[in-house]
Amino acid sequence: MTDPDPPSTLAELIDRQAAITGGKPALVDGEQILSYSDLAGQSMRLAFGFTQHGIAYGDRVGLWLPNTYIWIVSLLALSRIGATAVCINTRFRAAEISDILARTSARALVYAASDSRTDYSKVLDEISPDLLPDLLITTGSSTGTPRSTSIHDLMTVASPVDAAAPGNAAIMFTTSGTTSKPKFVVHDQLSLTRHAQDVAHAFGYAQSETALLQALPLCGTFGLAQALAVLAAGTTSVILPKFDACHAAELIARHRITGFNGTDEMFAMLLAAAGPETFRSVECCGFASFGIADAIEFARDAEQQGLKLAGLYGMSEVQALFARQPDDLPCEKRALAGGRLTSPGAHAEIRDPANGSLLPPGASGELYIKGPSRFSEYFGNPEATKSAIGGDGFVRSGDLAHMTPDGRFIFEARM
């Protein structure tokens, strides 16, 4: 049944779920289990803590964290203020981080305590203090310097903060930037919230027994789209801090994971590490093919080991999980990238690259897409925004694709 008054901000979404589901687990992060009530409360306390340290509506705050419940709490807290989370990949080092912080004029940076892959504090020491924000917030213990504090010290007082509006910028993703500096893809509160609800519905996440493995990085749209959809569905995410196939297989079995999304490389490693009973609870997983020559053959091999896969499509500008192949298609069709549009308000067209004319089903051309999940702008780059979004609202994907007679599209290659 369609919600006649769906939430339009992330804060509204999580507060509504807390009222509905209460003590149901929202996030499982190792031994840390947060219910929906916990998640709403912690994000409210952190939002107030941010404001006490000068973070206000319209400010930008970098999140440089591996997968952790603190990532989600921080995003929700910033959304309550009307501030913008700037996603920073944990693989980035001093040059990339200082560039991102400078070009977004970030007021603060939330960063992790050291883990097995990265010594975050050591990387920050390589950046000139003049290039760092005024406030550094660590997930570990405070360093005791005037500009540094611990995120846990910000979460001591619960006081309502509600400055969120559907149109305010909620998040920035960085593009890959192969020939120039990465662009910053801005999504507002409404874009994230509506897409989360559309994915939850289209992917069937709202079933009571659903538990999804959060293996993809939260700092990218592929991982975050799944995480927010699970929250919109009121079900449970089991967080994997970084991808490890053996750890992933153990979590799948222990928590009776019903599904997740990932890359072909992740699934290949998982299949190599998994035992014959690992996937008994798993229904169907969405996968993106980046490195394999034959997605159909890969999906067939996976299915023989008990893992059913379905092709996906997405990009930062319209978010990940924009389309997915139906579960009931035969493997040779289900494994192909693309699929049926997730949102009933989304549209896809194939146009002739030479003259822009619409092409019929089966004819290959450039994929144009639009929908409620579309980005609002490239931050600080109006020329690039104008070039990407046409007057009709469609985004030029730069991808070669074709439509099928039943209304799906098939991604073929980057143009």
Please say whether the beta carbons of 264 and 291 come within 8 A.
yes
- Please name which of 43, 106, 35 lies closest in space to residue 77, comparing C-alpha atoms: 43
Task: Give the model's pLDDT for residue 209.
Answer: 84
Other Cβ atoms closer than 10 A to 197:
24
Distance CA 413, CA 415 (A): 6
Could you write out the DSSP letters of every residue in 83-130? -EEEE--TT--HHHHHHHHHHHT-SEEEEPPP-SS--HHHHHHTS-GG
What would the mean pLDDT of 45-55 be, rounded to a whole number? Answer: 96
Tell me if 79 sits within 8 A of 125, measured CB to CB.
no
Three-state SS across 182-204?
CCEEEEEHHHHHHHHHHHHHHCC
**pTM of the prediction?**
0.96
Q: At 276, is the secondary structure helix, strand, or coil?
A: coil
pLDDT digits (tens, 9 = 90+) for 140-163: 887 666 688 999 999 998 888 889
Q: How far is CA 265 from CA 220, 290, 302, in A?
A: 17, 8, 12
Helices (H), 309-370: 331-334
38's tokens: 């916990």
Measured between alpha carbons, how far is 277 from 138 in angstroms, rounded to an integer?
Answer: 40
Residues in the chain: 415
- Mean pLDDT, residues 287-304 taken together: 91
pLDDT over 70 for what percent of the chain? 97
Confidence of residue 180 (pLDDT cuts 50, 70, 90): low
Sheet holding 135-138, edge to edge: 148-150, 135-138, 108-111, 60-64, 84-87, 169-174, 184-188, 377-378
The token pair at 65 is 């964290």
Q: Which residues pair with residue 211 across a beta bridge?
A: 236
Region 345-365 average pLDDT: 97
The pLDDT score that the predictor gives to residue 144 is 63
Lowest mean pLDDT among 269-273, 286-290, 313-317: 286-290
Whole-number Å distance between alpha carbons of 280 and 306: 7
Cβ proximity of 348 and 361 under 8 Å = no
Q: How far apart are alpha carbons 260 and 252 in whole angstroms?
A: 10
- pLDDT surpassing 60 at residue 29: yes
Contacts for 172 with CB less than 8 Å, ≥ 6 apart: 60, 84, 85, 86, 87, 104, 184, 185, 186, 187, 379
Q: Which positions ≥6 away from 186 have C-beta within 8 Å?
A: 84, 169, 171, 172, 375, 376, 377, 378, 379
| pLDDT above 60 (res 178) | no
Q: Quick one: pLDDT band at residue 177, thresholds 50, 70, 90?
A: low
Q: Give the span between the Cα atoms of 215 and 219, in whole angstroms.
A: 12
% the chain with pLDDT above 90: 87
Is a pLDDT exceeding 80 seen at residue 103? Answer: yes
How far is Cα 358 from Cα 356, in angstroms, rounded to an integer? 7
Q: Which helix (H) or strand (E) holds 237?
A: strand 236-239
Chain center to CA of 74: 14
Please say whether the beta carbons of 311 and 335 come within 8 A: yes
Q: Which tokens in the block code for residue 275?
A: 């035992």
pLDDT tens track for 115-146: 767 889 899 999 999 999 999 999 988 766 66
| Ramachandran sector of residue 271 (left: φ over 0; alpha: ψ -120 to 50; beta: rest) | alpha
Comparing 237 with 160, the larger pLDDT belongs to 237
121 in Cβ contact with 138 (< 8 Å): yes
Distance CA 409, CA 65 (A): 35
